[in-house]
Amino acid sequence: MKTRPFAGPFAGRLALAAAVVLAAASCSGPTDPTASGGPEKVTVWFMKDSVTDAFLARFRTGFEAEHPDIDLDIQIQEWDGIGEKVTAALASKDAPDVIEVGNTQVAQYAASGGVRDLTDKSGELKGSDWLPGLAEPGKVDGRQYGIPWYAANRVVIYHKDLFARAGVTAPPRTQAEWLAVTAKLDRGTTQGIYLPGQNWYTLSGFVWEAGGELAVQDGTAWKGALDTPQALAGMDFYRRLQALGKGPKDSDEAKPPQAEVFAKGDVAQIVAVPGGAKIVEEINPALKGKLGFFPVPGRTAEKPGAVFTGGSDLIVPEASTHPDAAYEVVKALAGEKWQTDMAKTMSYVPNHTSLAHVIQDDEGTAAMAAGAAQGRATPNSPQWAAVEATNPIKQYMTAVLTGTDPARAAATASASITRTLGS
Protein backbone atom coordinates (compact mmCIF):
# COMPACT_ATOMS: atom_id res chain seq x y z
CA MET A 1 0.00 0.00 0.00
CA LYS A 2 1.51 3.24 -1.09
CA THR A 3 0.42 5.70 1.58
CA ARG A 4 -2.42 6.30 -0.73
CA PRO A 5 -5.45 8.20 0.51
CA PHE A 6 -7.78 5.92 2.40
CA ALA A 7 -10.65 7.53 0.54
CA GLY A 8 -10.73 5.25 -2.50
CA PRO A 9 -7.37 3.53 -1.99
CA PHE A 10 -8.19 0.38 -3.85
CA ALA A 11 -9.00 -0.54 -7.41
CA GLY A 12 -12.59 -0.50 -8.69
CA ARG A 13 -14.72 -3.06 -10.54
CA LEU A 14 -12.73 -5.01 -13.09
CA ALA A 15 -14.24 -6.02 -16.41
CA LEU A 16 -13.68 -9.54 -17.66
CA ALA A 17 -13.41 -8.28 -21.20
CA ALA A 18 -10.54 -6.03 -20.19
CA ALA A 19 -8.88 -8.97 -18.48
CA VAL A 20 -9.02 -11.08 -21.63
CA VAL A 21 -7.73 -8.28 -23.85
CA LEU A 22 -4.89 -7.40 -21.51
CA ALA A 23 -3.87 -10.91 -20.49
CA ALA A 24 -1.40 -11.48 -23.28
CA ALA A 25 0.23 -8.07 -23.06
CA SER A 26 0.29 -7.32 -19.34
CA CYS A 27 2.24 -10.15 -17.75
CA SER A 28 5.91 -10.83 -17.52
CA GLY A 29 6.13 -14.39 -16.34
CA PRO A 30 9.00 -16.45 -14.99
CA THR A 31 11.32 -18.42 -17.20
CA ASP A 32 11.32 -22.20 -17.09
CA PRO A 33 14.32 -23.37 -15.08
CA THR A 34 14.35 -26.72 -16.88
CA ALA A 35 15.50 -24.95 -20.01
CA SER A 36 18.82 -23.89 -18.44
CA GLY A 37 19.15 -26.22 -15.48
CA GLY A 38 19.65 -23.18 -13.24
CA PRO A 39 17.73 -21.80 -10.26
CA GLU A 40 14.00 -21.21 -10.47
CA LYS A 41 13.24 -17.66 -11.54
CA VAL A 42 10.41 -16.35 -9.35
CA THR A 43 8.70 -13.17 -10.53
CA VAL A 44 7.40 -10.87 -7.80
CA TRP A 45 5.25 -7.80 -8.36
CA PHE A 46 5.60 -5.08 -5.76
CA MET A 47 3.74 -1.78 -5.88
CA LYS A 48 5.61 1.47 -6.38
CA ASP A 49 6.66 3.16 -3.12
CA SER A 50 5.40 0.35 -0.90
CA VAL A 51 8.96 -0.17 0.32
CA THR A 52 12.30 1.47 -0.34
CA ASP A 53 14.82 0.30 -2.89
CA ALA A 54 17.23 -0.33 -0.03
CA PHE A 55 14.77 -2.71 1.65
CA LEU A 56 14.21 -4.59 -1.60
CA ALA A 57 17.97 -4.90 -2.13
CA ARG A 58 18.43 -6.30 1.38
CA PHE A 59 15.56 -8.72 0.92
CA ARG A 60 16.76 -9.97 -2.46
CA THR A 61 20.32 -10.52 -1.21
CA GLY A 62 19.23 -12.18 2.02
CA PHE A 63 16.56 -14.37 0.46
CA GLU A 64 18.72 -15.61 -2.41
CA ALA A 65 21.55 -16.38 0.03
CA GLU A 66 19.16 -18.58 2.03
CA HIS A 67 17.54 -20.05 -1.11
CA PRO A 68 20.33 -20.63 -3.67
CA ASP A 69 17.89 -22.53 -5.86
CA ILE A 70 15.70 -19.42 -6.37
CA ASP A 71 16.43 -16.23 -8.28
CA LEU A 72 14.10 -13.29 -7.70
CA ASP A 73 12.83 -11.18 -10.58
CA ILE A 74 11.37 -8.19 -8.73
CA GLN A 75 9.16 -5.93 -10.85
CA ILE A 76 7.70 -2.64 -9.61
CA GLN A 77 4.15 -1.83 -10.67
CA GLU A 78 2.29 1.48 -10.80
CA TRP A 79 -0.93 1.82 -8.81
CA ASP A 80 -2.68 3.47 -11.72
CA GLY A 81 -4.40 0.73 -13.70
CA ILE A 82 -3.12 -2.09 -11.49
CA GLY A 83 -6.56 -3.65 -11.06
CA GLU A 84 -6.90 -4.44 -14.75
CA LYS A 85 -3.29 -5.61 -14.94
CA VAL A 86 -3.63 -8.02 -12.01
CA THR A 87 -6.92 -9.36 -13.36
CA ALA A 88 -5.26 -9.95 -16.71
CA ALA A 89 -2.34 -11.71 -15.04
CA LEU A 90 -4.65 -14.01 -13.10
CA ALA A 91 -6.42 -14.96 -16.34
CA SER A 92 -3.18 -15.68 -18.19
CA LYS A 93 -0.93 -18.72 -18.39
CA ASP A 94 2.28 -16.83 -17.56
CA ALA A 95 1.34 -14.92 -14.43
CA PRO A 96 3.93 -13.63 -11.97
CA ASP A 97 4.47 -15.92 -9.00
CA VAL A 98 3.76 -13.47 -6.17
CA ILE A 99 1.72 -10.26 -6.32
CA GLU A 100 1.28 -7.52 -3.72
CA VAL A 101 -2.36 -6.39 -3.65
CA GLY A 102 -4.37 -3.96 -1.52
CA ASN A 103 -5.90 -5.85 1.41
CA THR A 104 -9.48 -5.14 0.35
CA GLN A 105 -8.78 -6.25 -3.22
CA VAL A 106 -8.32 -9.92 -2.32
CA ALA A 107 -11.99 -10.90 -2.45
CA GLN A 108 -12.31 -9.29 -5.87
CA TYR A 109 -9.36 -11.22 -7.26
CA ALA A 110 -10.24 -14.49 -5.52
CA ALA A 111 -13.68 -14.38 -7.13
CA SER A 112 -11.98 -14.87 -10.49
CA GLY A 113 -10.71 -18.29 -9.42
CA GLY A 114 -7.17 -17.26 -10.30
CA VAL A 115 -5.73 -16.99 -6.78
CA ARG A 116 -4.17 -19.95 -4.98
CA ASP A 117 -5.79 -21.08 -1.73
CA LEU A 118 -3.18 -20.86 1.05
CA THR A 119 -5.40 -21.91 3.93
CA ASP A 120 -3.22 -24.92 4.71
CA LYS A 121 -0.25 -22.59 5.23
CA SER A 122 -1.92 -20.42 7.88
CA GLY A 123 -0.65 -22.52 10.77
CA GLU A 124 2.96 -22.42 9.63
CA LEU A 125 2.65 -18.66 9.08
CA LYS A 126 1.20 -18.17 12.59
CA GLY A 127 -2.09 -16.93 11.22
CA SER A 128 -3.72 -16.80 14.64
CA ASP A 129 -1.41 -13.86 15.42
CA TRP A 130 -2.20 -11.85 12.28
CA LEU A 131 -3.77 -8.41 12.50
CA PRO A 132 -7.52 -8.88 11.99
CA GLY A 133 -7.77 -5.94 9.60
CA LEU A 134 -5.31 -7.64 7.24
CA ALA A 135 -6.22 -11.28 7.79
CA GLU A 136 -10.00 -10.91 7.43
CA PRO A 137 -10.00 -9.30 3.96
CA GLY A 138 -7.60 -12.00 2.78
CA LYS A 139 -10.10 -14.71 3.71
CA VAL A 140 -13.01 -15.49 1.41
CA ASP A 141 -15.67 -18.06 2.31
CA GLY A 142 -13.43 -19.34 5.08
CA ARG A 143 -10.42 -19.84 2.81
CA GLN A 144 -7.20 -17.78 3.10
CA TYR A 145 -6.13 -16.39 -0.26
CA GLY A 146 -4.27 -13.26 0.84
CA ILE A 147 -1.36 -13.43 3.30
CA PRO A 148 -1.05 -10.23 5.39
CA TRP A 149 2.08 -8.23 4.62
CA TYR A 150 1.87 -4.83 6.32
CA ALA A 151 -0.66 -2.37 7.68
CA ALA A 152 -1.27 1.29 8.34
CA ASN A 153 -4.19 2.90 10.12
CA ARG A 154 -5.31 6.25 11.41
CA VAL A 155 -4.35 7.86 14.69
CA VAL A 156 -5.02 11.29 16.16
CA ILE A 157 -2.24 13.78 15.44
CA TYR A 158 -2.35 16.68 17.88
CA HIS A 159 -0.67 20.05 18.40
CA LYS A 160 1.09 19.82 21.78
CA ASP A 161 1.27 23.58 22.33
CA LEU A 162 -2.48 24.02 21.83
CA PHE A 163 -3.19 21.17 24.23
CA ALA A 164 -0.92 22.77 26.83
CA ARG A 165 -2.51 26.20 26.45
CA ALA A 166 -5.93 24.66 27.04
CA GLY A 167 -4.66 22.92 30.15
CA VAL A 168 -4.93 19.44 28.64
CA THR A 169 -2.11 17.42 30.17
CA ALA A 170 -2.81 13.97 28.72
CA PRO A 171 -4.47 12.65 25.56
CA PRO A 172 -8.02 11.33 25.98
CA ARG A 173 -8.54 7.59 26.23
CA THR A 174 -12.31 7.31 25.80
CA GLN A 175 -14.76 8.80 23.35
CA ALA A 176 -16.42 10.78 26.14
CA GLU A 177 -13.06 12.24 27.20
CA TRP A 178 -12.25 12.98 23.57
CA LEU A 179 -15.41 15.05 23.15
CA ALA A 180 -14.75 16.91 26.41
CA VAL A 181 -11.11 17.65 25.57
CA THR A 182 -11.95 18.73 22.03
CA ALA A 183 -14.66 21.07 23.30
CA LYS A 184 -12.10 22.61 25.65
CA LEU A 185 -9.66 23.09 22.76
CA ASP A 186 -12.28 24.62 20.45
CA ARG A 187 -12.10 28.23 21.54
CA GLY A 188 -11.22 31.60 20.03
CA THR A 189 -9.38 31.13 16.75
CA THR A 190 -8.42 27.54 17.54
CA GLN A 191 -10.34 24.62 16.07
CA GLY A 192 -10.70 21.74 18.48
CA ILE A 193 -10.41 19.33 15.57
CA TYR A 194 -10.40 19.53 11.80
CA LEU A 195 -12.66 16.70 10.64
CA PRO A 196 -14.04 16.91 7.09
CA GLY A 197 -17.65 15.83 6.74
CA GLN A 198 -16.95 12.98 4.31
CA ASN A 199 -14.04 11.24 6.04
CA TRP A 200 -15.87 7.94 5.75
CA TYR A 201 -13.01 5.67 6.79
CA THR A 202 -12.94 7.46 10.13
CA LEU A 203 -16.72 7.07 10.35
CA SER A 204 -16.32 3.35 9.66
CA GLY A 205 -14.25 3.01 12.82
CA PHE A 206 -16.89 4.81 14.87
CA VAL A 207 -19.61 2.56 13.43
CA TRP A 208 -17.65 -0.59 14.27
CA GLU A 209 -16.82 0.70 17.74
CA ALA A 210 -20.54 1.18 18.39
CA GLY A 211 -21.21 -2.41 17.30
CA GLY A 212 -22.52 -1.57 13.83
CA GLU A 213 -21.50 -2.56 10.32
CA LEU A 214 -21.35 -0.89 6.91
CA ALA A 215 -22.94 -3.97 5.35
CA VAL A 216 -23.78 -7.48 6.47
CA GLN A 217 -23.98 -10.82 4.69
CA ASP A 218 -27.27 -12.68 4.74
CA GLY A 219 -26.59 -16.09 3.26
CA THR A 220 -24.94 -15.37 -0.07
CA ALA A 221 -26.38 -11.85 -0.33
CA TRP A 222 -25.05 -8.62 1.15
CA LYS A 223 -27.10 -5.68 2.33
CA GLY A 224 -26.30 -2.19 3.64
CA ALA A 225 -26.47 -1.79 7.41
CA LEU A 226 -26.00 1.91 8.11
CA ASP A 227 -29.59 2.17 9.34
CA THR A 228 -29.14 -0.06 12.41
CA PRO A 229 -29.21 1.61 15.86
CA GLN A 230 -25.53 0.77 16.37
CA ALA A 231 -24.41 2.26 13.06
CA LEU A 232 -26.52 5.35 13.70
CA ALA A 233 -24.79 5.73 17.08
CA GLY A 234 -21.43 5.75 15.29
CA MET A 235 -22.65 8.48 12.93
CA ASP A 236 -23.97 10.51 15.86
CA PHE A 237 -20.56 10.44 17.53
CA TYR A 238 -18.98 11.60 14.27
CA ARG A 239 -21.50 14.46 14.07
CA ARG A 240 -20.77 15.62 17.61
CA LEU A 241 -17.00 15.49 17.12
CA GLN A 242 -17.07 17.15 13.70
CA ALA A 243 -19.04 20.09 15.12
CA LEU A 244 -16.07 21.01 17.36
CA GLY A 245 -14.17 22.46 14.42
CA LYS A 246 -14.68 24.15 11.08
CA GLY A 247 -14.25 21.17 8.77
CA PRO A 248 -16.33 21.27 5.57
CA LYS A 249 -19.45 19.13 5.62
CA ASP A 250 -19.46 18.31 1.91
CA SER A 251 -15.90 17.15 1.15
CA ASP A 252 -13.28 14.71 2.35
CA GLU A 253 -9.76 15.06 3.78
CA ALA A 254 -8.29 15.74 0.33
CA LYS A 255 -10.41 18.81 -0.46
CA PRO A 256 -8.67 20.84 0.84
CA PRO A 257 -5.70 18.67 1.89
CA GLN A 258 -6.08 18.43 5.65
CA ALA A 259 -2.30 18.49 6.15
CA GLU A 260 -2.28 22.01 4.70
CA VAL A 261 -5.08 23.07 7.03
CA PHE A 262 -3.34 21.60 10.07
CA ALA A 263 -0.02 23.18 9.08
CA LYS A 264 -1.46 26.66 9.62
CA GLY A 265 -1.06 26.05 13.35
CA ASP A 266 -4.55 26.87 14.60
CA VAL A 267 -5.99 23.32 14.55
CA ALA A 268 -5.57 21.16 17.65
CA GLN A 269 -6.16 17.72 16.07
CA ILE A 270 -6.62 15.77 12.86
CA VAL A 271 -7.29 12.08 12.23
CA ALA A 272 -4.69 10.69 9.83
CA VAL A 273 -1.96 8.11 9.37
CA PRO A 274 1.18 9.07 11.37
CA GLY A 275 3.09 9.85 8.18
CA GLY A 276 0.77 12.82 7.75
CA ALA A 277 2.75 14.58 10.46
CA LYS A 278 5.85 14.58 8.25
CA ILE A 279 3.88 16.30 5.50
CA VAL A 280 2.63 18.89 7.98
CA GLU A 281 6.20 19.59 9.15
CA GLU A 282 7.41 19.95 5.57
CA ILE A 283 4.73 22.57 4.95
CA ASN A 284 5.39 24.37 8.25
CA PRO A 285 8.82 23.51 9.72
CA ALA A 286 7.96 25.57 12.80
CA LEU A 287 5.71 22.69 13.92
CA LYS A 288 8.54 20.19 14.01
CA GLY A 289 8.70 18.63 17.47
CA LYS A 290 5.32 20.07 18.42
CA LEU A 291 3.14 17.26 17.12
CA GLY A 292 2.06 14.27 19.17
CA PHE A 293 0.05 11.11 18.53
CA PHE A 294 -2.51 8.97 20.31
CA PRO A 295 -4.75 6.07 19.21
CA VAL A 296 -8.32 6.86 18.23
CA PRO A 297 -10.16 6.53 21.57
CA GLY A 298 -12.72 3.80 22.15
CA ARG A 299 -15.82 3.59 24.28
CA THR A 300 -13.76 2.50 27.30
CA ALA A 301 -10.20 3.12 28.41
CA GLU A 302 -9.31 -0.58 28.28
CA LYS A 303 -8.56 -0.54 24.55
CA PRO A 304 -8.41 1.93 21.64
CA GLY A 305 -11.31 2.42 19.29
CA ALA A 306 -11.89 0.41 16.14
CA VAL A 307 -10.14 1.75 13.02
CA PHE A 308 -9.98 0.96 9.34
CA THR A 309 -6.82 -0.98 8.52
CA GLY A 310 -5.34 -0.29 5.13
CA GLY A 311 -2.40 -2.23 3.82
CA SER A 312 -1.24 -4.95 1.49
CA ASP A 313 -1.56 -8.71 1.24
CA LEU A 314 0.48 -11.15 -0.82
CA ILE A 315 -1.19 -13.57 -3.24
CA VAL A 316 0.07 -16.45 -5.35
CA PRO A 317 -1.70 -16.83 -8.72
CA GLU A 318 -3.00 -20.25 -9.69
CA ALA A 319 -1.09 -19.80 -12.93
CA SER A 320 2.25 -19.53 -11.12
CA THR A 321 4.64 -22.11 -12.57
CA HIS A 322 6.68 -22.11 -9.35
CA PRO A 323 4.07 -22.24 -6.57
CA ASP A 324 6.36 -23.86 -3.97
CA ALA A 325 9.11 -21.30 -4.54
CA ALA A 326 6.50 -18.54 -4.57
CA TYR A 327 5.30 -19.68 -1.17
CA GLU A 328 8.88 -19.49 0.16
CA VAL A 329 8.96 -15.83 -0.91
CA VAL A 330 5.64 -15.14 0.81
CA LYS A 331 6.77 -17.01 3.92
CA ALA A 332 9.95 -14.92 4.14
CA LEU A 333 8.22 -11.58 3.55
CA ALA A 334 5.52 -12.42 6.12
CA GLY A 335 8.01 -13.76 8.67
CA GLU A 336 9.51 -12.08 11.72
CA LYS A 337 12.91 -11.19 10.21
CA TRP A 338 11.66 -9.20 7.23
CA GLN A 339 8.57 -7.92 9.01
CA THR A 340 10.83 -6.35 11.64
CA ASP A 341 13.14 -4.87 9.02
CA MET A 342 10.24 -3.43 7.01
CA ALA A 343 8.43 -2.02 10.05
CA LYS A 344 11.54 -0.15 11.16
CA THR A 345 12.37 1.00 7.64
CA MET A 346 8.90 2.11 6.60
CA SER A 347 7.19 2.85 9.96
CA TYR A 348 4.52 0.30 9.07
CA VAL A 349 2.62 -1.88 11.50
CA PRO A 350 3.89 -5.49 11.22
CA ASN A 351 1.43 -8.17 10.19
CA HIS A 352 1.62 -9.98 13.57
CA THR A 353 0.27 -8.47 16.78
CA SER A 354 3.18 -9.99 18.71
CA LEU A 355 5.63 -7.85 16.72
CA ALA A 356 4.14 -4.52 17.81
CA HIS A 357 7.08 -4.01 20.19
CA VAL A 358 9.55 -3.52 17.31
CA ILE A 359 8.14 -0.04 16.60
CA GLN A 360 7.47 1.16 20.15
CA ASP A 361 10.32 3.70 20.02
CA ASP A 362 8.45 5.80 17.43
CA GLU A 363 5.52 7.66 19.02
CA GLY A 364 3.39 7.83 15.89
CA THR A 365 3.95 4.26 14.81
CA ALA A 366 3.44 2.98 18.36
CA ALA A 367 0.06 4.74 18.49
CA MET A 368 -0.78 3.23 15.11
CA ALA A 369 0.20 -0.25 16.30
CA ALA A 370 -1.98 0.09 19.39
CA GLY A 371 -4.94 0.99 17.21
CA ALA A 372 -4.15 -1.73 14.68
CA ALA A 373 -5.08 -4.37 17.23
CA GLN A 374 -8.65 -3.10 16.83
CA GLY A 375 -8.36 -2.83 13.07
CA ARG A 376 -11.11 -3.78 10.65
CA ALA A 377 -11.56 -3.75 6.90
CA THR A 378 -14.43 -2.92 4.59
CA PRO A 379 -17.04 -5.62 3.84
CA ASN A 380 -15.43 -8.63 2.20
CA SER A 381 -17.55 -8.59 -0.95
CA PRO A 382 -16.11 -8.63 -4.47
CA GLN A 383 -18.57 -5.83 -5.24
CA TRP A 384 -17.42 -3.48 -2.48
CA ALA A 385 -15.13 -1.60 -4.87
CA ALA A 386 -18.24 -0.63 -6.83
CA VAL A 387 -19.74 0.82 -3.63
CA GLU A 388 -16.66 2.99 -3.18
CA ALA A 389 -16.91 4.16 -6.78
CA THR A 390 -20.22 5.96 -6.14
CA ASN A 391 -19.82 6.12 -2.36
CA PRO A 392 -23.29 6.68 -0.91
CA ILE A 393 -21.65 6.76 2.53
CA LYS A 394 -20.14 10.17 1.77
CA GLN A 395 -23.49 11.47 0.60
CA TYR A 396 -25.12 10.07 3.74
CA MET A 397 -22.62 11.83 6.00
CA THR A 398 -23.13 15.20 4.34
CA ALA A 399 -26.89 14.76 4.56
CA VAL A 400 -26.77 14.11 8.31
CA LEU A 401 -24.32 16.93 8.99
CA THR A 402 -26.52 19.40 7.11
CA GLY A 403 -29.71 18.54 8.97
CA THR A 404 -31.35 15.58 7.23
CA ASP A 405 -33.00 13.08 9.56
CA PRO A 406 -30.22 10.51 10.25
CA ALA A 407 -32.51 7.47 10.11
CA ARG A 408 -33.96 8.49 6.76
CA ALA A 409 -30.53 9.31 5.30
CA ALA A 410 -29.12 6.02 6.58
CA ALA A 411 -31.98 4.05 5.06
CA THR A 412 -31.34 5.67 1.69
CA ALA A 413 -27.61 4.94 1.86
CA SER A 414 -28.16 1.35 3.00
CA ALA A 415 -30.57 0.72 0.13
CA SER A 416 -27.98 2.04 -2.33
CA ILE A 417 -25.28 -0.21 -0.85
CA THR A 418 -27.61 -3.21 -1.05
CA ARG A 419 -28.38 -2.57 -4.72
CA THR A 420 -24.69 -2.26 -5.60
CA LEU A 421 -23.57 -5.32 -3.66
CA GLY A 422 -26.32 -7.34 -5.31
CA SER A 423 -25.59 -6.18 -8.84
The answer on 207 and 351 residing in a single domain is no
Q: What spatial distance separates the first Cα and last Cα of the chain, rounded to whole Å?
A: 28
Whole-number pLDDT of residue 38: 80
Whole-number pLDDT of residue 36: 53
Rounded average pLDDT over 270-283: 91
The answer on 177 and 288 residing in a single domain is yes
Which residues, in sequence order, are CB contacts of 203 under 8 Å at separation 6+?
234, 235, 238, 393, 397
pTM of the model: 0.77
* Range of weakest confidence among 20-24, 50-54, 227-231, 251-255: 20-24
The answer on 411 and 274 residing in a single domain is yes
The answer on 206 and 319 residing in a single domain is no
d(CA 84, CA 80): 9
Average pLDDT, the chain: 90
Rounded average pLDDT over 249-268: 95
d(CA 180, CA 200): 23
Residue 108's alpha-carbon distances to 10, 13, 247, 308, in angstroms, are: 11, 8, 34, 18
The answer on 402 and 271 residing in a single domain is yes
Question: Would 7 be classed as within a structural domain?
Answer: no
The answer on 144 and 221 residing in a single domain is no
Domain of 259 in residue numbering reads as: 155-307+380-421
d(CA 309, CA 133): 5
Whole-number pLDDT of residue 9: 36
Question: Would 10 be classed as within a structural domain?
Answer: no
Assess whether the previous peptide bond of 256 is cis (omega < 30° from 0): yes
Domain count, the chain: 2
The answer on 414 and 278 residing in a single domain is yes
CATH at residue 412: 3.40.190.10
The answer on 144 and 160 residing in a single domain is no
The answer on 171 and 249 residing in a single domain is yes
pLDDT digits (tens, 9 = 90+) for 112-131: 899 999 999 999 999 999 98
Q: Which amino acid is at 324?
A: D
The answer on 141 and 44 residing in a single domain is yes
d(CA 363, CA 383): 37
Question: Would 234 be classed as within a structural domain?
Answer: yes
Question: Would 89 be classed as within a structural domain?
Answer: yes
The answer on 358 and 222 residing in a single domain is no
pLDDT digits (tens, 9 = 90+) for 189-245: 999 999 999 999 999 999 999 999 999 998 889 999 999 999 999 999 999 999 999
Planar angle of CA 29, 31, 34, nearest 5 degrees: 145
